[in-house]
A and B are shown apart, each in its own frame.
Chain A
Amino acid sequence: MPPGPFGLDPLLWAPLRLVIAVVLALFLVLNGALLQIYLERKIQAVIQDRLGPYHVGPFGLLQTFADAIKLIAKEDVRARLTDTYFFLAAPALVFCPMLASWVVLPFAQDIVGTNLNIGLLYLTTLGSMTVLGIITAGWAPNNKYALVGGLRSAGQLISYEIPQILALVSVVLVVGSLSMIDITRSQTGPFVNVLILPFSFVLYFIAALAETNRTPFDLPEAESELVAGWLTEYSGMRWGTMLALSEYGNVTVVCAIVTTLWFGGWQGPGVDAIPLLGVLWFTLKVYAAIVVMMWIRATLPRLRIDQLMSFCWKGLIPMALVNIVVVAVLALAFPTTKVPIAIASWLLLVIFVIGIPLVQRRRLRALRVRARAATAPAVRAAS
């Protein structure tokens, strides 16, 4: 057992370390959510040529704090026919897996909860557990909008989990480890993984947008169709826990995975001299990814449910499988150099980007022909 710092008794240090880690993770999650809500509103405001929050505090910085206090102080509303235990359990079922994922996030060289040798698998496992909480939250309030929203959301999460995991596999094939620390260590220097595997990065980022319910995949919260999806009956801090904390926590976790796997994690200039600088680099990279997500949210409209599903099953999953096959074959054929993999991955990316409009145009034409064929007999009957 390792002795603690300042000559602390290991028997005292081991539980103390646990408490410090949990408190730190909670602190980061809560404040991260507050900061990200503020960022989200400000960035959208800038993009849409508005001011955003600016009344409370300097630059509106205290707005989200005020909102959080309002949420905590709000009355706990519960309909009579809700299933009490399930209703109370659902926020915890959504929140706990997200919080548990923070165990393996490598903030800097030695600042990591634990170096699990299956870190990446552990993260995907916890990601898949969120679905259970969402289905419970949809079923418990005995509300048809919540139920439909919950089932829809679960379908979306289960579908997009597949390309997400398949995109991770290609990185694991190149690096040869599932540990977050090893994956970071493998990307020393300027040649981070995004230059070698840009295609799997794009696939993962698209799937991650869907997995965290971000626009253009925020169907669970499609107000015009479903009120608020599985969150319909929740209010106050239960709503705050599930939507604000869990969603933004998941966004952070996903962006941390992106940073670690494709952007070199904590590594950056000056890290070898001052290891604590890694925290800064890691946070900067994570928040850069988060800002890109917010930018996408302010730019794109929402997809329809059938478009969402067909894009996943007919577009992302086949491409992810092709990507795995190509990377695996090239990794086996050229074990010493990564150049062929990089070339192939960039080629696949170009094909993907060019191919989408072509496929879409053909689909549109087919749809138009079909629509004309369907309306023609009706027109003939009317005339």
Chain B
Amino acid sequence: MTFDFVEPVIFALLSIGVIAGGVAVVMLNRITAAALLMAFTFLSMAGMFVLLGAETIAAFQVLIYVGAITVLILYGIMFTKFSDSPRALFFQKQTPLAGVFVAAVAVPIVMVATVSFTGARPGPGGGDLPALATSVFTDFAFPFEIASVLLLAAMVGAIVLTKREDPEEAVRRRRR
């Protein structure tokens, strides 16, 4: 007897975490709870990556999505006016339409996944870092750089859009 049964059990728990967390994020009316559950969903996703032997991706998933993006969303929520009252049913009105869209996206994905990914299973964990680094800095160096330039441009744009004039500076310029 070995520990072969552990992996499917963990996979099942993680899938429940991902799906239940995702559903709860969409259905809940309390927006802070939704944001925290989104962090939970991301953590479950990271667990999936670990199970697939891609620890580096899992670590970046947690670092960026849980540590940065969820925190940013919570920041945004806390700086905006909101109420926890259940009358703000914005996303719940179009349930049938949303169901159709979900089906239109999900059914092809499931079909493709079950048909095409029958071959090699990913190997056991450990040592995906050198492979990842090599491919990022050789084969995908150009897309990587393009993506970073795009992000830089977006950041500069955001700063320009949100920058207010310094009141002291304005006073000094008026005086001149």
Q: Which residues of B contact A126 (CB under 8 A)?
A: 62
Number of B residues contacting the other chain (C-beta, 8 Å)? Answer: 26
Our pick among B1, B39, B59, B66 for the contact of A122 (Cβ within 8 Å) is B59
What 0/1 readout, one digit per residue, does chain A (137-159) give for beta carbons within 8 Å of chain B?
A: 00100000001000100100010
Q: Which residues of B contact A276 (CB under 8 A)?
A: none
Q: How far is the CB of B18 from chain A (nearest CB, A)?
A: 18
Question: Given the complex of chains A and B, what is the CA–CA distance between A14 and B3 in angstroms?
Answer: 10
A118 touches B62 (CB 8 A): no
A132 touches B59 (CB 8 A): no
B74 touches A139 (CB 8 A): yes
Q: Which residues of A contact B110 (CB under 8 A)?
A: none
Residue of B67, B68, B74, B168 most packed against chain A (CB within 10 A)? B67
A125 touches B55 (CB 8 A): no
Q: For this complex, into which size category does the number of interface residues on chain A fall? A: 20 to 34
Q: Which residues of B contact A373 (CB under 8 A)?
A: 172
Q: Which residues of A contact B55 (CB under 8 A)?
A: 116-118, 122
Which residues of A143-177 are within 8 A (CB) of B? 147, 151, 154, 158, 161
Known: A14-B3, A139-B74. A374 touches B66 (CB 8 A): no
A117 touches B126 (CB 8 A): yes
Number of A-B contacts (CB under 8 A): 72
B23 interface contact, C-beta 8 A: no
Question: Given the complex of chains A and B, what is the CA–CA distance between A131 and B62 in angstroms?
Answer: 12
Q: How far is the CB of B21 from chain A (nearest CB, A)?
A: 14
Q: A128-B62, A132-B39 are known contacts; what are 14 more A-B pairs with Cβ within 8 Å?
A: A1-B3, A11-B1, A85-B33, A118-B59, A121-B60, A122-B55, A125-B59, A125-B60, A132-B70, A132-B74, A136-B36, A151-B75, A151-B78, A154-B75
B interface residues (Cβ-Cβ under 8 A, vs A):
1-3, 32-33, 36, 39, 55-56, 59-60, 62-63, 66-68, 70-71, 74-75, 78, 126-127, 129, 168, 172
A interface residues (Cβ-Cβ under 8 A, vs B):
1, 11, 14, 83, 85-86, 89, 116-118, 121-122, 124-126, 128-129, 131-132, 135-136, 139, 147, 151, 154, 158, 161, 178, 370, 373-374
Question: What are 30 contact pairs spanning A and B, CB under 8 A?
Answer: A1-B2, A11-B1, A11-B2, A11-B3, A86-B33, A86-B36, A89-B36, A116-B55, A117-B55, A117-B127, A118-B55, A121-B59, A122-B55, A125-B62, A125-B67, A128-B63, A128-B68, A129-B66, A131-B67, A132-B36, A132-B39, A132-B67, A132-B71, A132-B74, A135-B75, A139-B32, A139-B78, A158-B71, A370-B168, A374-B168
